[in-house]
Structure 1
């Protein structure tokens, strides 16, 4: 069973997890627009492809699927998810399982304003969020809001174009700078949805940060939630974390799963501020925090392979991580493609 990872980037570990599970029964195919993407070097077959916004991108991915007899496609990039999801029918027509949620789910998760509205439906807290400088200054003046604040793209990915500001002068300067730079980042295409409100200003939450892997099957039915306490971040991604027992966060994960009905993994960021839970972001894909769940005992790659085959799984055996296990990421050297 051959698997294609699109926008594979530097997620070597994920390709390795799947490679271990398929063994000699299939091969790992990786595609990326950057020849120096380290994942291309460890895949069984590697392809250079156009930018995800290129008009011929989907046709090229389908060509690769047919050429390599690919049965499963998994994307590792936020910006690509809406494009793949909108073309899900083309993959299904060719007998290919595209592991991506419906476009409505992708759009809701990618828009942080829509995420806040979604959370309010089931009474979950979210950080105070504003889309204009005028509204922020009014909130600062009437005491509704206070520094520090964070400015970031409304449709964002990782830590691209984010700034924390401590006073009004920094707020004005950072907002103008990020607004100007936004058009030069990879987020420019998606930000045209509402260019006038493409930046958000939010309160900075002071508390413990947790990453949730909220897992649904390929029909959108809830399976489990794995909770990790983040110990250290690097470049917007979890660098060190520990699997923990938090029934309240598991319950929140189950509620989100039933409300959203996503496919596969949903990577969520949640803050605990003095016992009060705040939903920060939802990413409907394998996130940078998944390896901590996997190394602690969960095996979502194997579960996905079984689901694609039409088999049921034992959630308690396959998707359960052992508590109190702490892990940290480290760099390793990979020879790049020539």
Structure 2
């Protein structure tokens, strides 16, 4: 079977671009993967068929360079590997699609909404979904409105990988951490900490590009592992419902992978109500019989390869349906299992970019 040329940007270690690359390598279809990254030392560049060094997504030349590479290799599908690249591709989606390239991204209004956590929280409440109590901090006096603890402080926009996130267990901590965060990034949100360390899920909902629901999957996170927690502290609130330890995920997810209908049902309803296309990733905790959504990522997940390992291969499914024209049955079967993570190393070739000089399939 002839190899299908696919480009994945942002293939550096730790991001969802690397995850998409891994998922494509797990697929039965033979993919010829062109990879791009702005860092010449990104691990993923050593693992693609042809590597390219790209300008940052904020550079005016970015889309031009991506399209030039796509034309050279007759790329059939283009996947972004970082949120800045998602924004850049979304802004010029018409130009990309006009070149005959399949671009599996959500509508612009979905992307814009989900990248603002304060706006997302309001939308969830307005549409009948459960969400932790959330207060936007636009000036330090807004901290006086916080009447719940523990409280999670985090950026409303950005903050990937749990950057600039803090946990306050009492008023004094809130005031100190809240002041420091405001001085560092400006406005942010404070969100109620719900559930315990065994109740957190990252949920993937997959729709086709016409908005038809295809399937869903969840990972019940093991967030007490060293790789998987950003914050881990003793519970000092006196409330045993939170467990002995309070923890915030690092974004490096691992754990039990499966359908988990108690959480995926609500997330499926959310994705269809929102009007998602392609992949969407929903972060939530399941507590008191309710699914509390605290973040929606309108893109592929940092657990894309974990899902592909059990037969739920999102990028492959979308290519097969929309590029190859194959019939994809909704609720396609996949396995359940526990997937854990560690560290991996690669020796970067000295002639890494020679493959992209005149590379030809």
TM-score of Structure 1 vs Structure 2, range by shorter chain: 0.7 to 0.9
Greater share of helix residues, 1 or 2? 1
Q: How does 1:209-248 map to 2 (within 5 A)?
A: 209-232=200-223, 233-234=228-229, 236-248=250-262
CA distance in 2, matches of 1:269, 1:334: 31
Q: In the alignment, is the contact (CA less than 8 A) between 1:221 and 1:261 conserved in 2?
A: no
Q: In the alignment, is the contact (CA less than 8 A) between 1:28 and 1:45 conserved in 2?
A: yes
**2:153 counterpart SS class:** strand
**1:239 counterpart SS class:** coil
Equivalent of 2:335, from 317, 322, 331?
A: 322
Change (3 A) 1:263 1:9: farther
TM superposition score normalised by structure 1? 0.86
Q: In the alignment, is the contact (CA less than 8 A) between 1:215 and 1:225 conserved in 2?
A: yes
Q: Which residue of 2 aligns with 1:5?
A: 8
> Do structure 1's residue 107 and structure 2's residue 109 form an aligned pair?
no
CA distance in 2, matches of 1:181, 1:170: 16
Equivalent of 1:203, from 189, 192, 205?
A: 192
TM superposition score normalised by structure 2? 0.81
Which segments of 5 or more consecutive residues in structure 2 lack a partner in the other structure? 231-249, 351-361
Q: Which residue of 2 aligns with 1:29?
A: 34
Aligned length: 315
CA distance in 1, matches of 2:134, 2:256: 29
Change (3 A) 1:255 1:23: closer
How far apart are residue 153 of structure 1 and its match?
Answer: 0.7
Q: How does 1:100-249 map to 2 (within 5 A)?
A: 100-132=105-137, 133-139=140-146, 145-156=147-158, 157-182=160-185, 197=187, 199-207=188-196, 208-232=199-223, 233-234=228-229, 236-249=250-263
How far apart are residue 23 of structure 1 and its match?
Answer: 5.3
Once the two structures are superposed, what CA deviation does each residue of 1:56-111 show, in whole Å capped at 9, x if it has no partner? 21111111111222111101212221221111000111101111111111011111
Q: In the alignment, is the contact (CA less than 8 A) between 1:9 and 1:38 conserved in 2?
A: yes
Q: In the alignment, is the contact (CA less than 8 A) between 2:283 and 2:293 conserved in 1?
A: yes
Once the two structures are superposed, what CA deviation does each residue of 1:32-73 show, in whole Å capped at 9, x if it has no partner? 111111111101111111111112211111111112221111
